[in-house]
Amino acid sequence: MTDHDVSYDLVSRPRRLRSTPAMRRFTAETRVTPSELILPVFVKEGLDEPQPLASMPGVVQHNMDSLKRAAAEAVELGLGGFMLFGIPQIRDAEGSAALDPDGILNRGIRAVRDEVGDDIVVMSDLCLDEFTDHGHCGVLDDQGRVDNDRTLEIYGRMGLAQAEAGAHMLGPSGMMDGQVGVIRAALDAAGREDVSILAYSAKYSSAFYGPFREAVDSTLTGDRKTYQMDPANRREALLELQLDLDEGADMVMVKPAMSYLDILREVADASPVPVSAYQISGEYAMIEAAAANGWINRDAAIRESVLSIKRAGANSILTYYATELARWFHEEN
Ligand code: PBG
């Protein structure tokens, strides 16, 4: 008896639905479309030329011109959102440049909004770490601890400045207790009920933020463990979700993505509002570094990583690959 004479009477043969590319395309449960993608971008004050980032090959710090071009391209590709981070030239203990209508982030928002109108959701990072000279997400008390409530007061004003600059959606990412509620109240008191809030609800203190520190020229020494969540914890994510919902979050986020897909699934199952996940700088850098060494197939790894985030329950995904993924999507559809 030769091998091919062997045959079992199997009731189910799942391989049948994997047999051809067309069959696999037809039976795929998950796909990622451009409108679900949000592109995070960095704009830096005083740059003549866009500045490449060594730890994030392919990502740049923009100047105002290249920022506007990136926004126009995002619209053209049909991306869902465009999330701005600003890097000021001068920093101080209170992060004053964040409140200045002419501060780099607010100027960036205004320029982008002028460029794109309502054709893409213009989002802004609402946090002080890019603006403080010590690099923490909040202001410090006299003992050097991050002062929650004094930071909240600044966040409220920062949110309003971003709304006035033209942001459609604010992304509070500082993990201060009560931040969503205070920002919501500040917006509402100023008659800006129209501006929405994407709350970084479950944001973990992660080693994978490493390359972001280069991207924003961070001065932080130490860590953010007194405000960002402990990677060991799961229940806390549901508490943070509940608090942000109670405080008026329109959307919520889990961050980072890939090491927290279990959390993402849980938040996605529990949340009555849309859920985002952020494929962060270190996730990007790992793929790029491994691919540059020829250790993984870059394009396949990008697709698989983003697909896994969608499959875990994200309705939208922040990723530095948004533009490239959208281009692939249009080539293939
Ligand atoms: C805080 C903020 C950070 C990121 C987004 N918003 C840095 C941090 O929390 O340390 C990280 C994004 C990334 O790593 O890609 N402003």
pLDDT in tens, 45-87: 999 999 999 999 999 999 999 999 999 999 999 999 999 999 9
> Is 283 close to ligand 1, i.e. is its CB under 6 Å away?
no
Closest CA to 171 of 210, 115, 121, 219: 121
| Averaged pLDDT for residues 199-221 | 95
Quick one: average pLDDT of 109-116? 98
Give me the residues paired with residue 40 across strands. 83
Token pair 């604010």 is found at 170
Helix (H, G, I), strand (E, B), or coil: what is residue 246?
helix
> Distance (Å, rounded) from C-alpha 163 to C-alpha 157?
10
Q: Is 280 in the pocket of ligand 1 (CB under 6 A)?
A: yes
Tell me the C-alpha distance between 45 and 210, whole Å. 22
The model's pLDDT over 151-170, given as tens digits with 9 standing for 90+, comes to: 999 999 999 999 999 999 99
Is residue 2 very low, low, confident or very high in pLDDT (cuts 50, 70, 90)? low
- Return the closest-CA partner of residue 228 out of 255, 263, 250, 257: 255
Distance 209 CA to ligand 1 centre (A): 6
| Ligand 1 close to Cβ of residue 200 (< 6 A) | no
Overall average pLDDT of the 13-34 stretch = 97
Structural domains of the chain, with CATH:
31-219+233-332 (3.20.20.70)
* Per-residue model confidence (pLDDT) at position 72: 98
Amino acid identity, position 78? G
Residue 1 has pLDDT above 60, yes or no: no
Pairwise CA distance, residues 248 & 264, whole Å: 20
Residue 333 confidence (pLDDT) above 80? yes
In the reported structure, the alpha carbon of residue 247 is separated from the centroid of ligand 1 by a whole-number distance in angstroms of: 22
